[in-house]
Structure 1
Amino acid sequence: MGILHLLFLLLLVAAVEGRKEKSGGGGGWGLRFRSGSGTFKVVQVADMHYADGRRTGCLDVEVAAGCSDLNTTAFLYRLFRAEDPDLVVFTGRRKKDPDDR
């Protein structure tokens, strides 16, 4: 688990430094704690195996063409709207390999 913490820290530092460059140091869109609560919300989405939806079968849901990818998209949309994260981190494999079954 230590390597994951290190990777997350490196990603966070890179994001902050990248945003400093884009913002030019004056205002812009740097990463900040939320005013009032002093919190910083991170949502991690791990190992999605996201595919194109054409051949992805359904598992434990009503059968529809490409439903698992569509369900994942709908779930992420609801999650991001409900949680309102300051940073979203996608880890693991994000797309389905052609050899995956």
Structure 2
Amino acid sequence: MIDLSTDRRILLKPVRSVRFELRDVALTAREVVQMTDGSVWSVAHRRAEYWSHNPKAPLTVAFRFRASGEFVDAVEFIRAAERPFITRELPEVAV
């Protein structure tokens, strides 16, 4: 994953996540992931054909939510924001 704020690779390990499959022009899925340090990230999986004009663009990018410990709030936020595009919500996975 690439952090959209810093353009750096995220090296933390995920502890738990919820994935939303999307029917969207630019994205195939969004995930909310909590990392080993407690930070909560929103991960976007980009549709390759949409980003083909920029072949160097990473297809998996992330941004960090405001503070750690807000996993449930982040899931609710993404669920509400992506509601028109969600085709399936996968159950929470503990890694």
TM-score (ref. length: structure 2): 0.29
Q: Name the structure, 1 or 2, with higher relative contact order (CA <8 Å, separation 6+).
A: 2
Higher helix share: 1
Higher strand share: 2
Task: Return the index of the structure with the highest Cα Rg.
Answer: 1
